[in-house]
Each structure stands twice: as C-alpha cells, then as structure tokens.
Amino acid sequence: MRLNPNVNVPAFLEAVRSCRGEVSFVTSEGDILNLKSALSQFVFTAVVAGKLTELEGHITVQNSGDEELLYPYCMRES
C-alpha cells in the first residue's frame, strides 16, 4: 500500500498504534521503519513524511486485518 503524499502524519501514526500487528514503511532504498517503534516514528516524521511524493516507499502490515485501518491514509491502487 502506498501512503497518500498529503497524509495527516499524527492521525496515520495513531492508526498504526491501533493496529494489532507490526506495520512497516519500506523505502525504495530498502530502509525498513517499524512504525510501532518511537524512534522509527521520529525518523519517519522528521525525514520521510515530507518526501512521500518523491519516495517510492510503501506500507506493509504483518496482520492482514490491519490493512482496513490504514486504507484511509493510502492511495487507491489503479
């Protein structure tokens, strides 16, 4: 799933916190940020969130049931 470039970061991370399983953001360079971790959230917010248009990162979820919680923050796949 790809994040909406204009995502409301705090709301998105709040949704991540309510997910049952792990949620990761994977950048095109292979960086994996576990968004349940405070440090990764910090890195994501400080550096990644402002560049979602350029980055070809995507979200992966450990628990498929969590996808529904994150759909509102993702781009619709064509």
Q: Which is nearer to another protein, 9 or 75 (CB)?
A: 9
- Which distant-in-sequence residues (6+ apart) come within 8 Å of 5 by Cβ? 52, 53, 75
Residue 20 CB, nearest approach to another protein (Å): 19
- Is 3 in contact with 76 (CB distance < 8 Å)? no
Confirm or reject binding of residue 13 to another protein (CB under 8 A). yes
CA–CA separation, 56 vs 69, rounded Å? Answer: 21
Query: Interaction with another protein in 45-74: which residues (CB under 8 A)?
Result: 45-50
Q: Kindly list the residues in this chain that would bind another protein in the complex (CB under 8 A).
A: 9-10, 13-14, 27, 29-32, 38-43, 45-50
